[in-house]
Amino acid sequence: EDKVVQSPLSLVVHEGDTVTLNCSYEVTNFRSLLWYKQEKKAPTFLFMLTSSGIEKKSGRLSSILDKKELSSILNITATQTGDSAIYLCATGDKIIFGKGTRLHILP
C-alpha cells in the first residue's frame, strides 16, 4: 500500500534552534516530493524535489531528497516563532500526504 510517513508528529523547540523534519515514502512510480507549511489557513507550498532537483534551499529552510532511502528531510535553521506551523510532505503525481509534523517554537 502506498504511504507517506512523517516524523516526529510534534516538536517543541526554542527560538534559535535548528530542527529537522522527516518524511519517508513508499509510492509506486514516484516522481516528486513536495513540502508544505500550514498555519491557520490552507497549506502553502515550500519546495518540490524530483530526481533532477534533490536539494532545495530558501533562506533558513532547506530540503533534501534521498531516493535511495525513499525519504526527505526539511531543515529549518535559526528558528523563529513565525515558523510555528504544521509541515506537510506529499508525493506528487500520485498525491499522498503525510499526517504532518506540528512544530511549535517557544520564544
Partner 1 sequence: KAGVTQTPRYLIKTRGQQVTLSCSPISGHRSVSWYQQTPGQGLQFLFEYFSETQRNKGNFPGRFSGRQFSNSRSEMNVSTLELGDSALYLCASSYLKGNEQFFGPGTRLTVL
In a 3-state reduction of DSSP, which class is residue 62?
Answer: strand
Q: Which is nearer to partner 1, 79 or 91 (CB)?
A: 91
**93 belongs to the binding site for partner 1 (CB under 8 A):** yes
Q: φ and ψ at 82, to 5 degrees?
A: -70, -10
**95 belongs to the binding site for partner 1 (CB under 8 A):** yes
Q: Which of 3, 67, 94, 104 binds partner 1 (CB under 8 A)?
A: 94
Sign of CA dihedral 17, 89, 58, 40: negative
Q: φ and ψ at 83, to 5 degrees?
A: -85, -10
Total residues at the site for partner 1 (CB under 8 A)? 20
**40 belongs to the binding site for partner 1 (CB under 8 A):** no
**43 belongs to the binding site for partner 1 (CB under 8 A):** yes
